[in-house]
Amino acid sequence: MNIFKLRLCLPLMLGALVAGCGGEAVKPAAPPPVVQSPPPKITVGLALGGGAAKGFAHIGVIKMLEANGIEIDVVAGTSAGSVVGALYASGMSPYQMQQQAFALDEANIRDVSLFSGGLLKGQKLQDYVNQLLGQKPMERFAKPFAAVATRLDSGERTVFVRGNAGQAVRASSAIPGVFEPAPIGRHRYVDGGITSPVPVDAARQLGADMVIAVDISNKAAGNRPGHMLGIVNQSIVIMGQRLGEEEMKRADIIIRPRVGQIGPADFEHRNVAILEGEQAAQALIPQIKARIRELQAARTEAERPKPEPTPACESSWFGRRLGRDDCKRN
């Protein structure tokens, strides 16, 4: 009798159980959100070449790089490039540099010194740069900075990264025959364009993964300078041209503002030089961003965990006793 009642009640119990579960279906737990890791940091270096008054073009280049979100981490400069590079690395914005460029009075950087190895001493240039920097030494700059000069007694390239910024800029800009050699310690230094016209290698030494080089020099290709400063500048270009070509090959991007029409002493054309720098940089922004993405992808791939290697197969003791190769069987 009890078994009979149980058989009658069992369907009713099952029906009640199903009815009790007749609400909303149980949904599976949502998978955890995928967190996208930020792209790896690529240290971007800027190598600013020499070119006297053409150096104002560097300001235009920096303006366009910043306007397009290209972050510069380290800066190296030669000659005129060391002047702009020091101001920028110290924390000055490109618009502040442009204001200083327009306000520049050439009398503030000219100190005539006849019969002493150059027409100009260079002390005024040193003092002018240090004044703009607030007497800040290079190791206190917002970005790592290097000024490249040439040691007069040995012809060796010298890279300054610490100490008196104005003094380093003076040494890097000491055009032979125009400026006196700059004394630093026991040595005297002349223009860095003789040994490193565009300091790509110095930017690499500062830790750059990628170097954007800015070349404002005139190639020695039939140009006929008509005054002494132009002749001296052209001579430096000739001396450093072969070395510069080799060093430029180690840059990732080369920006060449069209400033060939501007003479080394044409300070009145500073606005034209800045505009040419802006146009040349803007034209290469897509290439610069593409190169950064390429380096980021390569670094991401290099940092991805590698699968564990498959252990080498060894025949078992039993297999070796029978003369059997278990690895081939597997």
Active site residues: 79, 191
**Nearest alpha carbon to residue 179 among 104, 229, 236, 117:** 117
Contacts of 55 (CB under 8 A, 6+ apart): 48, 79, 80, 81, 83, 84, 216, 273
Q: Give the 3-state secondary structure of the chain.
A: CHHHHHHHHHHHHHHHHHHHCCCCCCCCCCCCCCCCCCCCCCCEEEEECCCHHHHHHHHHHHHHHHHCCCCCCEEEEECHHHHHHHHHHCCCCHHHHHHHHHHCCHHHCCCECCCCCCCECCHHHHHHHHHHCCCCCHHHCCCCEEEEEEECCCCCEEEECCCCHHHHHHHHCCCECCECCEEECCEEEEEHHHCCCCCHHHHHHCCCCEEEEECCCCCCCCCCCCCHHHHHHHHHHHHHHHHHHHHHCCCCEEECCCCCCCCCCCHHHHHHHHHHHHHHHHHCHHHHHHHHHHHHHHHHHHHCCCCCCCCCCCCCHHHHHHCCCHHHHC
Looking at the DSSP bridge assignments, the partners of residue 239 are: none
CA dist 307 and 323 (Å) reads 33
